[in-house]
Amino acid sequence: MGEFTKAVTDASFEADVLKSSKPVLVDFWAEWCGPCKMVAPVLEELAKEMGDQLTIAKVNVEESPDAPTKFGVRGIPTMILFKDGVPVATKVGALPKDKLKTWIESAI
């Protein structure tokens, strides 16, 4: 994974996301997804800039199919912001950095 984002699997999802003491933005992605690759460096930058406010985690839907199924992920990239173990906001598709940051700030 990236230097500032955290790789999360089905096995670690509960501990890393649902039981996190701070908000967690989960990016559901796959290797073959072009838009996922476009948004990855943006998420790295945001993870670096906003690391004290939230964790940005990445779940590969091919390797960990349970979490995306549980939270109704149909298309990727899908980003779900979890706060206190519950999803509070969802965005589907790649967004420019400024829009993504504004969305995160409004949700946390």
Question: Per residue in 7-60, pLDDT tens?
Answer: 999 999 999 999 999 999 999 999 999 999 999 999 999 999 999 999 999 999
- Given pLDDT bands bounded at 50, 70 and 90, which one contains residue 91? very high
- Confidence tier at 2 by pLDDT (50, 70, 90): confident
Tell me, which fold does domain 6-95 have in CATH?
Glutaredoxin (3.40.30)
Nearby residues of 15 by Cβ (< 8 Å), 6 or more positions away: none
Residues taking part in catalysis:
33, 36
Is the model's pLDDT at 65 over the cut of 90?
yes
pTM to 2 decimal places: 0.96
Mean pLDDT rounded to a whole number for the chain: 96
Per residue, the 3-state secondary structure of 14-75, as one string, reads HHHHHCCCCCEEEEEECCCCHHHHHHHHHHHHHHHHHCCCCEEEEEECCCCCHHHHHCCCCC
Q: Is the pLDDT of residue 1 over 90?
A: no
| The pLDDT of residue 26 | 98
Domain residue ranges in the chain: 6-95
